[in-house]
Amino acid sequence: MKLKQLAAAAALAAAFAATALSPVNAETFRLSHNTNDTTTWQKGAEKFNELLQEKSGGEMDVRIFPMAQLTGGDQMKQAEMVGRGALDFVVTSAINVTPLVPEMAVFSLPYLYTDYDDVDATTSGEPGERMTEIMAEHGIVVLAWGENGFREVTNNVKPVKAPADLEGLKMRVAGPMYIDVMNALGANPQQMQWSETFSALQQGVVDGQENPIGAVIIPQRVYEVQKYLTTWHYSYDPIFVGVSQKLWDSWDDETKEMVRSAAQEAMTYQKEITREDTAKGVDFLKEKGMEIYEPSAEEIDAFRQATQPAFDTWAEKVGPDLVSLFQNAIEGEGNGENAQSN
């Protein structure tokens, strides 16, 4: 009898504790992303959740679904679901949105960027704002830009030092633009979900792939199934936190501001750790037994020239005005004009 009463009291106390921790009107939103739960994408999403809880006094939080689980592993479908309000939040990279918003391919045009300063001049300037407007036309509110990073090529056949080394290699790619880029380089590209890529590399279904070092190659242990990596920096891929326009419109200004600042702080953090992990990455990968080739400026130029036809095709698709907007921001940054004229 006594024991029973004790158990009942304990249960009651636990129930009280639970209510105290989560206010009655607490709302949990769903956030989808398409890498696994070890990546900087995940860490950025977790940081967003923490900040959202903190800023809302526990009234708002997000449940994170990695590996595009909510779209059956289809990484391109996430943006479409957010766009029609079937999913609340997404953390994904530009290339995954290109079937819905072809203009998003502008970020990843081969050799558009040379370094992080170029990147930052676009994501924190007018080009980033323009892309946010374009995304809003598709029902997605971009809250903040983060980083997947410069995509480096890996394979299991040989070191890649020049375009000719890619001849005939079976390369897994994430999206349509990379098909054209790989074709221009003489490789055999195959579009494949990221969720299927590790085992495809392991089983030799494909010879290689390309992804950023800090955000993806290291945390997802690509080095376990790939021997060679070339730091060719051929294409950049940003990530972003997006929210469905429907959900966004349901909030008052104060809530909007709170959600936006949580996303911005989270992506600042995500970008920082991604750059740190990338900087340490080459040494780490060597330790893990990968053979790393770091091409010279002339060798990079040969890759740039070989990919020019794909650049031209996609510059036409995304719109020459948009490409110019990006190029002007990059050039402005390059000669310091930006800093002076602002």
> For binding to ligand X2X (CB under 6 A), which residues are involved?
34-35, 75, 93, 95-96, 148, 174, 194, 211, 216, 237
CB nearer ligand X2X, residue 97 or residue 266? 97
CB nearer ligand X2X, residue 34 or residue 244? 34
Q: How far is the CB of 260 from ligand X2X (least distance, A)?
A: 23
Whole-angstrom Cα distance, residue 23 to residue 123?
36
Q: How far is the CB of 219 from ligand X2X (least distance, A)?
A: 11
CB nearer ligand X2X, residue 194 or residue 303? 194
CB nearer ligand X2X, residue 32 or residue 93? 93
Q: How far is the CB of 107 from ligand X2X (least distance, A)?
A: 11
Q: How far is the CB of 99 from ligand X2X (least distance, A)?
A: 12
Q: How far is the CB of 244 from ligand X2X (least distance, A)?
A: 20
Give the containing element (helix H, strand E) for 204: none
Q: What residue has token string 């479409």?
A: 80
Nearest residue to ligand X2X on Cβ basis: 194
Q: How far is the CB of 161 from ligand X2X (least distance, A)?
A: 23
Helix/strand/coil for 230: strand
CB nearer ligand X2X, residue 96 or residue 307? 96
Whole-angstrom Cα distance, residue 89 to residue 161?
40
Q: How far is the CB of 173 from ligand X2X (least distance, A)?
A: 8
Question: Of the candidates 267, 194, 238, which has an alpha carbon nearest to the alpha carbon of residue 93?
Answer: 238
CB nearer ligand X2X, residue 165 or residue 237? 237
Q: DSSP class of residue 250?
A: T
Q: How far apart are the first and last CA of the chain?
A: 77
Name the pairing type of β-strands 140-155 and 208-212.
Answer: antiparallel
Q: How far is the CB of 208 from ligand X2X (least distance, A)?
A: 12
Whole-angstrom Cα distance, residue 262 to residue 55?
8
Burial pattern 115-130, b for ≥16 Cβ within 10 A else e, equals eeebbbbbbebebbeb
CB nearer ligand X2X, residue 62 or residue 95? 95
Secondary structure (DSSP) of 9-76: HHHHHHHHHHHHHS-TT-EEEEEEESS-TTSHHHHHHHHHHHHHHHHTTTSEEEEEE-TTGGGTT-TT
Provide CB contacts within 8 A for 131, sequence distance 6+.
103, 104, 106, 107, 142
CB nearer ligand X2X, residue 174 or residue 241? 174
